[in-house]
Amino acid sequence: MITEPFFYLVAIPAVFLLGLSKSGFGAGFGSLGVPLMALAVTVPEAAAIFMPLLFVMDVLTLKAFRKELDWALFRFMLPWGLLGICVGAVLFKTLDSHTVAGVVGVFAWVFLAQRKLFPPHADAPPPGKLWGALMTTTSGFTSFVSHSGGPPVNAYVIPLKLVPTVFTGTLAAFFFVINLSKWLPYAWLGLLDMRNFATSLALMPYGRG
């Protein structure tokens, strides 16, 4: 496992922010996890270290909200999210690590700023399917490259004004499948190894946000 002290200095807060986001508090902070950890390791390695942590967090969240689910919305979003995963896998294979890091940084700042610059209005009409497809595909892509799929999909789902528990349950199911689908392409990219897995286990206790 990774033993450098500086890595854990940035990795522990990164994992804590992700756990906090998964628990329903500070939803945007989870997008900072990979960029923060990438101060100490490469973006692909940071993303790989997060994989086992995400699996455990997703299982716990889905277990708590498994009965609160908008199936029609889930069925609409899932194919577009998986399309984004495919795009992310292809670009991850072809782009160099510095370009991927730049893409991650841009998306992190753009979606963290969106709620401040363009807050949703209570009387706004629900967004259309085209916007939903675009944002959900973007969510799959950003989820693959930096585990930050929440902000773009929230840009579509929040204006739908779902009951809070249904909102949480639907996104829990969506990200459970999306994150599960990333294991095979991550293995194909050579990102899953025992060093990263052991590091994930060492960080596991800090994900209880």
Q: Can you read off the two tokens belonging to residue 183? A: 């294991």
CA distance 73 to 187: 30
Phi/psi of residue 158, nearest 5 degrees: -55, -45
pLDDT in tens, 42-86: 878 888 898 998 888 888 888 888 888 899 999 999 999 999 999
Q: How many domains does the chain have?
A: 1
pLDDT in tens, 145-198: 878 788 788 888 988 888 988 988 899 899 999 999 999 999 888 888 888 889
Number of Cβ within a 10 Å radius of residue 180:
14
At 125 the pLDDT is 74
Total residue length of the chain: 209
**91 CB-near residues (< 8 Å, 6+ apart):** 100, 103, 141, 145
Instruction: Kindly state the helix (H) or strand (E) to which residue 160 belongs, with its residue range.
Output: none
- Cβ 206 vs Cβ 192: under 8 Å: no
- Cβ 179 vs Cβ 47: under 8 Å: no
At 2 the pLDDT is 84
CA distance 79 to 85: 10
pLDDT-above-70 percentage for the chain: 79
Number of Cβ within a 10 Å radius of residue 129:
10
How does DSSP classify residue 126? P
Q: Can you read off the two tokens belonging to residue 160? A: 């739908």
pTM score, whole prediction: 0.82
**174 CB-near residues (< 8 Å, 6+ apart):** 74, 77, 78, 81, 153
pLDDT in tens, 96-136: 666 766 666 676 676 666 666 556 666 667 788 999 999 99
Nearest CA-CA partner of 110 in 146, 85, 158: 146
Amino acid found at 171: L
pLDDT in tens, 11-51: 888 888 877 776 655 555 666 777 788 788 887 888 889 89
- Cβ 97 vs Cβ 42: under 8 Å: yes
Range of the domain at 188: 5-207
Q: How far apart are the first and last CA of the chain?
A: 23
